[in-house]
């Protein structure tokens, strides 16, 4: 394996985790986004799925975002009769986003991003030292 391949693998990991962080930020931004009329559907939590894909250029497996889906968990109900999206009983469908889960996912994505960045920096350093010897 050459250093270019190692850098490409790390870059693929950085891109995948960057997408994951974008989806987490979107979920957190919409944690209170309800529908606009009674019974309407609020924001539905987005999820990211990864898969390994064989790179035709390098011949190695790299991580890619395979799918951005939607969490099918039920919407929690909140009693708020003054909300325009409240039903006849005064309940509003809230997004199925749990801030605690999103923060834990964000922490995990950040650690994976930092690990990919460290691998990239180590490869770059080794390549630089090799070129220095030549």
| 82/24 Cα distance (integer angstroms) | 29
Q: What pTM was computed for the model? A: 0.85
Q: Per-block average pLDDT, block size 10, for the chain (134 residues)? A: 79 94 97 88 95 82 93 94 91 95 96 93 84 78
Cα-trace Rg, the chain: 21
Partners of 48 in the beta sheet? 68
pLDDT digits (tens, 9 = 90+) for 11-29: 899 999 999 999 999 999 9
What pLDDT shows up at residue 39?
Answer: 79
The average confidence (pLDDT) of the chain is: 91
């Amino acid at each position: 394996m050459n250093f270019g391949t190692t850098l490409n693998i790390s870059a693929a990991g950085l891109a995948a985790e960057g997408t994951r962080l974008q989806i987490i930020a979107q979920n957190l931004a919409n944690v209170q986004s309800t529908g606009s009329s009674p019974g309407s559907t609020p924001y539905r939590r987005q999820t990211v799925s990864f898969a390994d894909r064989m790179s035709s250029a390098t011949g190695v497996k790299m991580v890619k975002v395979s799918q951005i889906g939607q969490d099918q968990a039920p919407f929690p109900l909140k009693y708020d009769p003054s909300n325009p999206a409240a039903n006849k009983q005064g309940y509003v469908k809230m997004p199925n986003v749990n801030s605690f889960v999103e923060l834990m996912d964000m922490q995990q994505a950040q650690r994976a991003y930092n690990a990919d960045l460290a691998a990239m920096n180590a490869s770059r350093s080794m390549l630089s030292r090799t070129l220095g010897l030549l």
